[in-house]
Amino acid sequence: MKKIILFILILVLPLFSQQITYDWGYTIAGARYTQTGYSDADSSTSISIVYDMQDYYPLDFNPVASDDSVIILNSTRLNYGTFWWKIDAQNATDSSGHSILAYPGFMDYYPGSGDRITVANIDYSTTATTLLSETAAVNDAQWNAVNIYISNTGGKILPPEFIKIVIAFQTMAADSIDVYWKSVFPTVAESEQGMRTSTSAGNAKKAAATLH
């Protein structure tokens, strides 16, 4: 009986080591974004948002699907989270055309400064996965969501070390649009983050065991 109970505990243990994290992300220079988002975007604006995937917890929403017919679940791609965004047009007649792109990235070297995210030490792919491309009608675009994934012939690959999300505006009816966003993704529980063993002393681990 004790062996059965122990076996059940081992099976359910992973359920208690994950959490859902809400994150604004970082600039490519490593500065934290906040709830203020990006103000006064225009047609030439490109907003880059970096997410550190070191604490990502694999979660497959649709493991048996054989194609991408159920787009919301990215059935043949591993889901790395959901990207939510909102466009606040200061003029009620404004509209915009925009794309949301995902670029994988890896740390080429550890700068020794304690900062994981710096302009020089992360190399991002020049090939993007287009998560969305649309034209928003006049007035605001309320909270919308798209799942984050990386196109790859390997299918359900584990995530790169970093994912850069780019919101790029192609056309705009004005130059006074505010953009807000937040990503939601499964991560290792904060209480477990300090137990990472993928790096050694003098390493490039995050300075704090938290994504908030």
> Which has the higher per-residue pLDDT, 10 or 19?
19
Q: What is the pTM of this model?
A: 0.79
Q: Is the pLDDT of residue 70 over 50?
A: no
* Share above pLDDT 90 across residues of the chain, in percent, rounded to a whole number: 32
pLDDT band at 195 (very low <50, low <70, confident <90, very high): low
Taking the alpha carbons of 148, 107, 48, 24 in that order, is the dihedral positive or negative? positive
Residue with tokens 């889901």: 79
Which of the listed CATH numbers 1.10.1670, 2.60.40, 2.60.120, 3.40.50 matches domain 19-189?
2.60.120
Q: Is the pLDDT of residue 51 over 90?
A: yes
Q: Is the pLDDT of residue 98 over 50?
A: yes
Closest CA to 18 of 200, 184, 156, 149: 184
Q: Report whether 117 contacts 49 (CB < 8 A).
A: no
Q: Is the pLDDT of residue 145 over 50?
A: yes
Q: Is the pLDDT of residue 69 over 80?
A: no
| Type and span of the H or E element at 2 | helix 2-12
Average pLDDT over residues 171-182: 81
